Chain A
Amino acid sequence: MHQARIVGVGMTNFGVHDRPLPELFSSAAFDAMDDAGVDAPAIESFYLGNAMGGQTERDTHLAPTLASHIGLAGIPCQRYEDACATSSNAFKHAVRAVEAGQHDIVLVGGVERCTPTTGLDTPEMTSVFASASHRQYEQPTGLSFPGVFGLLTTRHMHEYGTTEEDLAAVAVKNHRHGTYNPRAQFGSETTVEEVLESPIVASPFHLFDCCPFSDGAAAVVVANEEAAADLSSESVAVSGVGHATDTIPLADKADFTATQSARDAADQAYEQAGVGPDDVDVVELHDCFTGAEVLAIEALGFFEDGEGGPAAANGETALGGRIPVNPSGGLKAKGHPIGATGVAQLVELTEHLRGEAGERQVEGARRGLAHNLGGDAGTTIVSILEVDA
């Protein structure tokens, strides 16, 4: 089996972009191709993540459209959709194709626009996001996506004593990290008081517990070890990718606080990489809501079940702490353009492993883990990147 490596990365700023999806994606794709040092003819396949273009912008069959815009027409192109885990799923399939020897060099990316530039206001976009919950047994109740994570987090608070202050500390930490990230949507700090005083979106989440609506794009070039060796760019190994799902609707999940798909995906990724949580230096995880970060750090094995609540307040997950989580600012501060989020996590980790992350650099990072969750933890993909593998 071949060793898949990330040989080039690129992403746009996350925030508001008033450009059509092909133009927005081209910026990230060209940055990744230029970073890798590969031209269009070297790319053998294109894996795209876009979750909602059909609903938000009446824009479908996007993979060949985007490929045509960036000079890749003719090669096999495919779009993946798994709610917020969309572009990690595209990445997984690209990695497997490279590992299997099907392709030597591939482009993987994601693009999405979720802000009012799409023409959709907050209730309409809330409704589009809610389409990732069960159509018959959840959507008619008026459940929103903050509400989905509200249900999971409220149960965690009940079982373990996690507090609203614990949740707010996650937002404070990720906002602070975001101030070091020039690509982040939010570049200012916040406080526990400010989070708790912001209006409720869906309990227990205040506005500042929630990630924003964002536009953006991200891309990576994946190559096998032979192609990577022929390039002058600094590459990192993809040493493990795990992918698992859990039951939908939410009510049928065995355990609301386990986020079982994350545990199963992490087990697979750790086993493939031959490592465990103690071997990870830097983490980018899916903090769509502050409670999601608490659930994730437990599911990934960085904290015992029930001990994830105080982690941010205690500084354990901050830059300089025991296990730095979301140095980019995470979805919370960096932003969350759905289809671009998973690949953007890999862009961030690659920069840390190369020592190129600037003010937010995790010093000496040799191994990074990305956790990208889709829907109500219905899908989770965990990827491990390494310098030395």
Chain B
Amino acid sequence: MSDTLPDPLTHAEWTAALRDGRLLGQRCGACGNETAAPKAACNECGSREIETVELPTEGTVYTETTIAVAPAAFEGGYRVAVIDLGTEGNARVTARLESDADIGDAVAFSDVLEVDEPVPVFG
């Protein structure tokens, strides 16, 4: 794990971290809200006082769907899930789910899938 985290957190740095097996996010200094999809300001309170944080790589399935009819460039028959990372600031990440886990089941960041660009895989 790196000692210094990128500030501000860009999409390029977020994807680079994914490829290193790390999940980065942001915490709002004003309200404590957290996101795993970095932004230029907090979507809860609008504050620009946001710091980059290392997010947990374990969580639980918050919701999931199995996509059969897929967008072009994808082949149907895969699962997409929103993973609740269990943090105080309520960070969640959208990910590929490569297991039969249901809502509430524990899952871990296990891989990176690259069709268009990298996405986290949980299982």
Q: Is the CB of A140 within 8 A of B115?
A: yes
| Total of A-B residue pairs, C-beta within 8 Å | 111
Q: Is the CB of B80 within 8 A of A151?
A: yes
Q: Tell me the nearest residue of chain B to A199, going by C-beta.
A: B68
Q: Is A68 an interface residue when CB atoms closer than 8 A count as contact?
A: no
Do most interface residues of chain A lie in helix, strand or loop, or is the interface mixed? helix
Q: Is the CB of A142 within 8 A of B115?
A: yes
- How many residues in A have their beta carbons less than 8 Å from beta carbons of B? 37
- Against B, the Cβ 8 Å flags (1 = close, 0 = not) of A165-194 are 000000000000000000000000000000
Q: Is the CB of B71 within 8 A of A130?
A: yes
Interface hub of A151, A203, A252 (most chain B Cβ within 10 A): A252
A127, A201, A256: the one within 8 Å of B73 (CB): A127
B35, B37, B67: the one within 8 Å of A202 (CB): B67
Q: Is B64 an interface residue when CB atoms closer than 8 A count as contact?
A: yes
Q: Is B45 an interface residue when CB atoms closer than 8 A count as contact?
A: no
Q: Is the CB of A126 within 8 A of B69?
A: yes
Q: Is the CB of B118 within 8 A of A140?
A: yes
Q: Which residues of B contact A134 (CB under 8 A)?
A: 37
Q: Is the CB of B36 within 8 A of A251?
A: yes
A236 to chain B, nearest CB (A): 37
Q: Which residues of B contact A202 (CB under 8 A)?
A: 65-69
A131 to chain B, nearest CB (A): 9
Q: Is the CB of A136 within 8 A of B11?
A: yes
Q: Which residues of B contact A122 (CB under 8 A)?
A: 69
Question: Across chains A and B, which 9 residue pairs bring their CB atoms closest together, nearest first?
Answer: A150-B65, A127-B71, A137-B37, A142-B74, A155-B63, A251-B92, A123-B72, A127-B72, A203-B66
Which positions in B face A, CB cutoff 8 Å?
A: 11, 35-37, 43, 62-74, 78, 80-82, 90, 92-96, 103-104, 113, 115-119
